[in-house]
Structure 1
């Protein structure tokens, strides 16, 4: 199939992904058609298949890209020994990273139900890797008598839900800066897990 005059794969491919992410976040995966994505990008609907196999692949690639970026960014952070310092670092990292990617966060959490079972298993595995780091921090803190947590898995899920919730209400033009939000959340989490 011939490419639309003036289109470039290194430009159009990322535009397809960015447009799909924005539309999925605004309208929901089920409500967005490939034709709608193509119209927003400015290409014919058939041309989208030069960049993705189908809409399910597009959703999976967006979620996989988000998780890969998250895990790579987290791996680049130096690992501290002290569980309290590690938990604070995780808290601040999670908020900062996710506030810069609101659409990706929304799609990654709200559209899981639309993944095929095979794709869901991959994304769930990547999410578990991220959750496992937080649970290891909590376990270390409990073993050292620093944290008073009855169930590290439940606490892990609760802390991640709490931290991710910032993306639903935070506005850059609001009264708090990102570092201020990080500090407030760190104080709440510290009190939540304290022994």
Structure 2
């Protein structure tokens, strides 16, 4: 008669291996999607990179779409967790804290950032809604900073949500062009973009609209 401990051992032993394989699938897919684009990558190619038969992938991700959704949701979860645990001086201006955090994090996660923004179009509607909800959670952090700053007279923002998306889009574009070893170091980039963000929301920095707009 086989003991309960003996029965449980194979399951317990296979679980870490299964988690390890799933992690390898994510890593291989991340690299492939970033290099070639989601639509051009096949499950067979991912399986070859991992070193398993294509059918083995389905034990972890039923479809390629599930891999993409997992990568995007994992990216957002890691981003939010990193923000919660970020270590900045308490007296640092909140906008400066956000700008510096966003740039530092995203320059370390260039493939994840590229996929999270460029492959949104390839998410199925339900998956898009899940990812978009997490993106809104992150955007809400900056929106709250701008709203609070406006209430205190520190910033001039009439549409905090629009300003949030404009600032985040500006910051998120940095990994597309920045390369190590160039004329500007990372801290230089932080300083330049912080100044741009501050000027965008500075009281009195923007003249009132005249109403004469090009159509």
Does TM, normalized by the shorter one, top 0.5? yes
The question of 1:63 aligning with 2:68 is answered no
The yes-or-no answer on 1:130 pairing with 2:133 is: no
Structure 1 match to 2:60: 51
Q: Which residue, 124, 133, 157 being the options, matches 2:165? A: 157
Residue 12 (structure 1) aligned with residue 21 (structure 2): yes
Counterpart residue number, 2:187: 179
Q: Contact 2:88/2:97 (CA < 8 Å) preserved in 1?
A: no
For 2:159 and 2:74, how far apart are their aligned partners in 1?
Answer: 31
Counterpart CA distance in 2 for 1:177 and 1:73 is: 22
Alignment RMSD: 1.7
Structure 1: which 5+ runs fail to align?
A: 1-7
Maintained 8 Å contact 2:103/2:174: yes
Return the match for 1:108 from 113, 116, 140. Answer: 116
SS at match of 2:58: helix
In 2, Cα distance between equivalents of 1:167 and 1:36? 26
1:144 aligns with 2:152: yes
Q: 1:168 aligns with which of 176, 182, 192?
A: 176
- Measure, in 1, the Cα distance between the counterparts of 2:191 and 2:151: 25
- How far apart are the structure 1 equivalents of 2:39 and 2:161? 32
Contact map agreement 2:34 2:111 (CA 8 A) in 1: yes
Residue 94 of structure 2, aligned match among 86, 98, 113: 86
The question of whether the paired residues in 2 share the 8 Å contact of 1:79 and 1:86 is answered with no
TM score, norm. by length of structure 1: 0.90
Deviation (angstroms), 1:10: 4.1
Residue 97 of structure 1: aligned partner: 105
Verify the 8 A CA contact 2:47 2:54 in the aligned structure 1: yes
Q: Identify which of structures 1 and 2 has the higher relative contact order when contacts are C-alpha pairs closer than 8 Å and 6+ apart.
A: 1
Q: 1:114 deviation in Å?
A: 1.2
> What is the number of equivalent residue pairs in this alignment?
187
Q: Is the contact made by 1:80 and 1:86 (CA closer than 8 Å) also made in structure 2?
A: no
In the alignment, which of 29, 37, 42 is matched to residue 28 of structure 1? 37
CA displacement, residues 59-89 of structure 1 (integer Å, 9 cap, x when unaligned): 000000000000111112369887x700000
